[in-house]
């Protein structure tokens, strides 16, 4: 695995946001949700597609703070424009566990 420099890491904008809307995304190839995530005044609200259906219901996701990459180029997924990448870790059974903050913080704060 190639070494990552600090300059490389510094290019990735990982920010905290709050999921304000989540709905089923039946058009996606794999089960997923369409999310709206609020990143505060500087970044605003962004859309994301996330394969989280194994462990979370759409209702469970509302109000949850998540860590997302906000500076990838947008990607069209089954006609839906995903603007940010919500992060998670994949368990051995394939289920994705969201990455977030263990305490409430202001939306838009950057991972240091």
pLDDT in tens, 63-95: 999 999 999 999 999 999 999 999 999 999 999
Confidence of residue 30 (pLDDT cuts 50, 70, 90): very high
pLDDT of residue 2: 85
What is the pLDDT averaged over residues 34-43?
A: 98
Where residue 94 falls (left for φ over 0; alpha for ψ -120 to 50; beta otherwise) is left
Confidence of residue 1 (pLDDT cuts 50, 70, 90): confident
What distance in Å separates the CA atoms of residue 77 and residue 84, rounded to the nearest whole number? 12
Specify the pTM: 0.94
Domain ranges of the chain: 13-98
Candidate CATH numbers 2.40.50.140, 3.20.20.70, 2.60.40.10, 3.40.50.10490; the one for domain 13-98? 2.40.50.140
């Amino acid at each position: 695995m190639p070494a990552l420099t600090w300059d490389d890491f510094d290019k990735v904008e990982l920010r905290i946001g709050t999921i304000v809307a989540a709905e089923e995304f039946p058009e996606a190839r794999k089960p997923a949700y369409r999310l709206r995530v609020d990143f505060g005044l500087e970044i605003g609200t962004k859309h994301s597609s996330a394969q989280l259906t194994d462990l979370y219901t759409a209702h469970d996701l509302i109000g949850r703070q998540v860590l997302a990459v906000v500076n990838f180029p947008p990607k069209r997924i089954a006609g839906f424009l995903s603007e940010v990448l919500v992060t998670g870790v994949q368990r051995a059974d394939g289920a994705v566990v969201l990455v977030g903050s263990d305490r409430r913080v202001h939306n838009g704060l950057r991972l240091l």
